[in-house]
Amino acid sequence: MTKQKKSILISFMIGFVILVGLDQWTKGLVVAHLKGHKPFVVWDGVFEFYYSENRGAAFGMMQEKQLFFFLIALLVLGAVAYLMVKMPTDRKYRPMSVCLMMVSAGAVGNMIDRISQGYVVDFLYFKLINFPIFNVADCYVTIAAACLVILIMFYYKDEDMACFAIKKHGNAEKE
């Protein structure tokens, strides 16, 4: 592994730890100050901090399927690890690296909750549109996924993505 690749992976891990820490810190604040209390209104009728325990996935779907979510998180982390190892060290790939770091941090942030408590603490509530309550880890995943879609559709070319292809071994026929 080159020195530059090590530097990129170390930066990834530092950012990852910071993001997971921020997610867990915000959830800790919410538990300490909002659990068992009325919501904290930031903008009346629009946005508030509202303590909620989510035992499902996005929008409360698939309640009580903790093992399934744990396995999905492991799958995501495995895919991110593969992509980070395969990713060239060119500066062009930094935005993708940041997005992968955010997806990983979001997955781990919510996985920590699922393992330690059996549910995920949610607290960000857009009351104006009655949007499902979410948390900082959810923000990481949503923002990163949207950015990845934009990057893949408009920034990276097919040849930029070829480095991630899984090579077949054996007697594959030539085209």
Q: How many CB atoms lie within 10 A of CB 31?
A: 15
Q: What is the C-alpha to C-alpha distance for residues 27 and 134, in angstroms, rounded to an integer?
A: 11
Taking CA atoms, 169 is separated from 159, 163, 172, 173, 175, in Å, by 21, 16, 7, 11, 15
Per-residue pLDDT tens over the stretch 65-102? 677 888 888 999 999 999 999 999 999 999 999 999 99
Per-residue pLDDT tens over the stretch 26-55? 999 999 999 999 999 999 999 999 999 998
Per-residue pLDDT tens over the stretch 6-17? 999 999 999 999
Q: Exactly one of 113, 122, 158, 160 is catalytic; name it.
A: 122
pLDDT at 171: 55
Task: Using pLDDT thresholds of 50, 70 and 90, give the confidence band for residue 170.
Answer: low
Predicted TM-score (pTM) of this structure: 0.88
Q: Exactly one of 23, 44, 113, 138 is catalytic; name it.
A: 138
Domain residue extents for the chain? 1-158
Residue 138 falls in the annotated catalytic set: yes
